Structure formats: C-alpha cells, structure tokens
Amino acid sequence: AVNDSEVTPFTVPSYACQRRSTLENHNAVLTDALSLLAENAELSDEDGRGVAFRRAAAVLKALPSAVTNMSQLTGLPCLGGHSLRVIKDILENGTSSEVESTKESERFKALKVLTGIFGVGSKTADRWIREGIHNLQQLRDSGQTLNRAQQAGLEHYDDIKQPVSLAEAEAIRGIVGRAVASVSPEAQIVLTGGFRRGKLTGHDVDFLITHPEEGSEVGLMPKLVSWLESRVSCHLQNVLLICDVIFLCAFQQERIKRCEIKLLALRCRITYSEQDETTASPSTTERRWRAVRVDLVVSPISQFAFALLGWTGSKLFERELRRWAGHEKGMSLSSHALYDNKQGRYIRASSEEEIFAHLGLEFIPPNERNA
Ligand code: DCP
Ligand code: MG
C-alpha cells in the first residue's frame, strides 16, 4: 500500500469549461458508477443531485491517470460527501453497494425502459410505474392512451435503443445534406453533438444548418422537413440510401417555427450496392433499414457561432459554460446569444474562438469538450 504522505493529489480547475476532457477516461469504473447515480437522480426528478454526480464524474474523467488512493482526491473540486463515499466504496471493495442496488432496483429498471421510449419523460414513466406498468409488454397490455410520438417510439423501440454508428451518421449527413442543398443551395450544414466531439457512436445524429446571408434561413426548416417527408433515395459511394421521415415529434409545428426539431426517425434503408440509381430495384433496397433519431437545428448566420457552441455539448460542458458566464462574468450565454448583464448589451461573435475569448476562457476544441 502507498503511504498517504507519498501521494501527490491531483489538481483540476473547478469549471468543466476550463478543462480539456478528451474521450480518454482513466477512471471509467468510477465515472460509470457516478453517472448511473446521476441518471437515477435525473429520472427521479432530482436534478440538483443529478448535476452534483455529473460534476463529480467529470472531475474524475479529467484526471491524467487512475485514482488508486482517496488521498489523491484531496482538494479536488465538485467532489461532495456522497460522491466521495461511492468512490471510497469502489476503491476498497471493487463495487459500490448503492450503485449495485440502484442498478438492480425494479424502479430504476422500469424508469430506464419506459423513458427509453421516444416521447416519454420521467413524469409519465413515474405515473405508469405507480399504475403497475414496468415494461413494454405491460404498457402494450395496459390500454394506456399514447400520443403519436409515444406510439412511434414504442414501435421503433429496439432501433432507437441501438447506438448510431459514425458510418450511419455520415450516411445520414449525406441524405440531410442533399435535402438542404436542394431546398437552399447556398445553405451550410454541420454535424454537431457527440459526433463533432469525436465520439464513434451516439443516441442520435445532430445537425446545425445556416445560410451565409442573414434572413435567407427563414422558411428553410419547413421546406427541409417537407423534402425529407417525401421519400428520397440517393447514392453515396457504394451505399444506396433510401430515407423517409416516418414521424416528426409531437410539437412539430411549434418546433418547426422555433427551428429546432427532433425527428423520429429518419428511416434509412442502407444497402451496399454496386448498382446505380436507375437500375436499383426496390427489392435490393428492402434488405434492411433502421429508425435513427435525428435532431435538426436551423440558425441565422448572426447566431451561428452560439448555436454551434451550444449544440456541440457535452451537456455538462454546456451547463458549465453557462454557469461560468453567469457566476464569473455576469453574462448570460445561450445557443442564440451572449448578453453582458452589466453593460446591458449583446456581444457579437462569429466563431467559437471569439465566444471563449469574450468569456475569458482558453479555447477548448470540440474533441476536448467531452466532460
Ligand atoms: N444540448 C444541451 N442541453 C440539452 C440538450 C442538448 O446543451 N438539454 C446540447 C448539448 C448536446 C447537444 O445539444 O451535446 C446534442 O444533444 P444530444 O442529447 O444529442 O447529446 P450528444 O450528442 O452529446 O449525445 P449522444 O452522443 O448520445 O447523441
Ligand atoms: Mg447527439
């Protein structure tokens, strides 16, 4: 055993937006445990506790090597008593009894399954659990009224639960890119979310779309959605893709106006085919397809940098950026703008680098925002 006096404690800055968090994680066992407790808190509508566990996990993710001794954690930010107990338990016993019992609890399992349905949040899931519904079969048998989003979510549950690969994300970028180009040739599209941070899988594919001329993005979203709704097929290298949007989220109209929509789903048939478009017969395209969740956001060019920063994530990194802006700089940051509360004015920026500079932060590139 290492003598405590020989252990050099780690040091990290307290806000996640001051740290470089790559996908490399030397403390996955500990961060998985804390993330599970965070998830359980969030699913139980205890957001404060959820954030506390997320922050603790993010601090451990940022460490340059594995924690082996509690004394290495002395002085680290964001590690509250509860998180420290969990870490200590794992370092001493290999597992945390709280994490294991949470993982095995009927309530947690039911909350995970039910909120895994597109359109079902923790409140609905909680109500169903109180009515004795713990799994999909019980939900189907219960005769509960489901809205359109939930019906589609239930129907495509297995597809949606399966992670989206980078190859699928790139294929979908091809489809959406083609859709954007045909409704607005000058418009630009970028992949945001986890894939922009270098992740190789995701739960959805996030896109941000803008137009170089301010105002020309108006009306783009409804056009894009109608284009996607009409079945399309296209060839990308040797991959034949046929997609059709089978369902748009329940708030479709409102969301289209706000220029942020979640699609469930872009139904993509992906066939590896040497054929060209004219000879591809429907039978070759029906081999396999899956539903994939896609988020589309349209932003005016004047807000593009804020939208890009805001939709790249991670969720905790975003939360910490806003907390830093508010608490340390007296500013309000959103995916639309940065507002200086003292000066009472908006601060313009045309790149992410400028926004970090306005916030007095060192620029952190997307692949180091995996807090
Ligand atoms: N976002 C946010 N707050 C939300 C929702 C989203 O800040 N309530 C931002 C940060 C996210 C990005 O949007 O990183 C995309 O949201 P996702 O839920 O798709 O998150 P990721 O893309 O990071 O995760 P995944 O890889 O699982 O899709
Ligand atoms: Mg995503």
CB atoms within 10 A of CB 37: 24
> Which residue among the candidates 45, 206, 244, 276 is catalytic per the annotation?
206
Q: What is the pLDDT of residues 243-276, one digit of tens each?
A: 545 444 434 556 666 677 766 666 555 544 434 4
Same fold, 4-102 and 105-146: yes
Q: CB of 199 closer than 6 A to ligand 1?
A: yes
Nearest CA to ligand 1 atom 15: 193
Provide the H-helix boundaries in 184-219. 193-196
What was the pLDDT predicted at 293?
85
Atom of ligand 1 nearest to the CA of 311: 13
Q: What contacts 24+ positions apart, CB below 8 Å, involve 269-276?
A: 269/240, 269/241, 269/242, 269/243, 270/168, 270/171, 270/239, 270/240, 270/241, 271/239, 271/240, 272/238, 272/239, 272/240, 273/238, 273/239, 273/240, 274/238, 275/240, 276/235
pTM score: 0.90
Is the omega angle on the peptide bond into residue 314 within 30 degrees of 0, that is, cis?
Answer: yes
Q: Is 295 annotated as a binding residue?
A: yes
Ligand 1 centroid to residue 224 C-alpha, Å:
22
Q: What is the pLDDT of residues 37-79, one digit of tens each?
A: 999 999 999 999 999 999 999 999 999 999 999 999 999 999 9
Q: Is 340 annotated as a binding residue?
A: no
- Whats the size of the chain, residue-wise? 371
| Domain 105-146 CATH superfamily | 5' to 3' exonuclease, C-terminal subdomain (1.10.150.20)
**Which value does ipTM take for this structure?**
0.96
So what CATH class is 304-368?
alpha beta
Ligand 2 centroid to residue 81 C-alpha, Å:
32
Ligand 2 centroid to residue 146 C-alpha, Å:
25
- Do residues 83 and 128 touch, judged by C-beta distance below 8 A? no
| Domain definitions of the chain by residue range | 4-102, 105-146, 164-298, 304-368
End-to-end CA distance of the chain: 31
Q: Is 206 annotated as a binding residue?
A: yes
